[in-house]
Amino acid sequence: MSSKRFRKDRIRKGAARLALLAGVGAAAMITAAPSYAAPLWPGGPRIPGPPVAAPALPAVPAVPGLSNTTQLWPNGPSVGPSAAAPRWPGGPAVPGVSVVGPTLPISAPCTTPGTRACLQLSSNLGWLMDKGRVVFGPTPISHGRPGYETPPGLFHVASKDWYHWSTMHNAEMRYAVFFNGDIATHIGPINEKSHGCIRMTPDGARAFYDYLRPGDQFEVVR
């Protein structure tokens, strides 16, 4: 073989070897090309590597005082200030704090055991009671005028009449509950004093009439 032909053969084999190496390298580059996973969250970055499922996040507990105003992320919790009740009437409202004022028990000035109806002349108020506990009231009343005063003391229901006509004063007495002779609780104008009876609003007189029974104890205090 001539030297010229030998050189051509070496060049041809070298070119083939280079082509083979180039093809292997390209294949390696293609094989090594990274894949891209889905974004970790909507609009987030794509991380090279195999797709990885995003871990499930634990449920976010509700935070007192936060309302649905702004979401931290899509389908995530919402945060924002919410209205709150004042700490006291006319006081400041604290975001996220709703304070309910304590409910104070209603008391009556009558303390004699067994009292079912309590009347206080000085305040013009009445209550219904059960075992020392107020179950109705206070309700406004009026009582006897000078010369016809309603006496204080302990009394008991004698009778009831949903419509009684007073022959003494020529006047009607609706929902009358008699507890001291001809003195009774009944509907009447509470802005005027009576001839000894206890005048009450329609709601108050009806409550006394429905609740009390003959023999129930009345207590009238000054």
pLDDT per residue as tens digits for the range 77-94: 555 544 444 545 555 554
User: Quick one: which H or E segment has residue 13?
Assistant: helix 3-32
Domain assignment of residue 143, yes or no: yes
Q: What is the CATH number of the domain that holds 189?
A: 2.40.440.10
**Please, is 82 exposed, middle or buried when counting C-beta atoms within 10 Å of its C-beta (0-12, 13-18, 19+)?**
middle
Domain assignment of residue 19, yes or no: no
Domain assignment of residue 136, yes or no: yes
pLDDT per residue as tens digits for the range 148-199: 999 999 999 999 999 999 988 888 999 999 999 999 999 999 999 999 999 9
Rg (CA), the chain: 47
Domain extent at residue 166: 115-221
User: 163 or 71: whose pLDDT is higher?
Assistant: 163
Average pLDDT over residues 30-44: 54
User: 155 or 64: whose pLDDT is higher?
Assistant: 155
User: Quick one: which H or E segment has residue 209?
Assistant: helix 202-211
Domain assignment of residue 176, yes or no: yes
Domain assignment of residue 157, yes or no: yes
What does pTM read for this prediction? 0.56
Domain assignment of residue 131, yes or no: yes
Which pLDDT score, from 0 to 100, does residue 104 have? Answer: 77
User: Tokens 């891209």 label which residue?
Assistant: 36
The number of folded domains in the chain is: 1
% the chain with pLDDT above 70: 54
